[in-house]
Structure formats: C-alpha cells, structure tokens
Amino acid sequence: MPQLEPNLVGLAWFGLLWSVCCIGFLQLAGMYPLRGRAVLPVTVTTILWVMLLAGTLAFALVELRWTTVVVVGGVLFLFLPGLFQALPEWWRDGRAGLRLSCCAMIAALALLVGVAAPSFHIWMT
C-alpha cells in the first residue's frame, strides 16, 4: 500500500472527511427545492457543507496524490448512498436530522482545521 499512497494517515483523514461531505450532500440534495422547508437551517447547513468540501479537497490535494483522491473519493461517493439509505428516515428528511448533520459538519470542520493546519502552513510558505 505505501507504494500506491505513502501518506496513509492523510488518506484515513481524507476518507473520514469525504464521507461526511458525501452524506451531507445526499441529505442536502433532498432538502432542495426549499418549498415547505425552513430556509435558514438549510442555507446554513449548505454553507457549512461548501466550506467542508473546499477544505477537504484542499487538504487532499496538498497531502495525497491526485490519483488517490480520485479513486478513493469516487469509491466512497459510489458506495455511501447505500449507507445513507440505511439511516432512519427522520435523519434523512427531518429537521432533527438536519441539526445532527449540521453538528457533524461543524465537528468535521474543527477536525479539519486541527489536522490540516500544518499542511496548509507548509504549503503557504
């Protein structure tokens, strides 16, 4: 495995963060269009999702080989909808699930800041 991707720790972090991005995307895709939905919670969660997506991709492109990002990201995006369908309906479609997803994205962003800060510092200098 080290011949394919030498940074296995970065790969594990990318897998976790990308999984949160994919599950968040699937949940948010079901929230649009906003007819009959509360606009503010969906908008805030969408903004958090975009921030998490941008940070995760930036971290992956700094730390991993681009081929690894494409293959692992694609496999996760392909198989995570099955996991998403196994979640309870209140989590997928309800306001409580949206709040839970928002909290998960905030936690993932905090984790991303802690994990990716050294990488971005080296990259920026």
Cα separation of 117 and 119, whole Å? Answer: 5
CB 54 within 8 A of CB 112: no
Q: Place 97 in a pLDDT band, splitting at 50, 70 and 90.
A: confident
Q: Please, what's the b/e burial string for 17-51 (b: 16 or more CB within 10 A of its CB; e: otherwise)?
A: bbbbbbbbbbbbeebeeeeeeeeeebeebeebbee
Domain that holds residue 30: 8-124
The total number of structural domains that make up the chain: 1
In a domain, 95, yes or no: yes
Return the percentage of the chain with pLDDT > 90, whole number: 46
Which of 106, 102, 100, 74 lies closest to 87 in space, CA to CA?
100
Q: Is residue 2 part of a domain?
A: no
Q: Decide if 3 is inside a domain.
A: no
Residue 1, domain member (yes or no): no
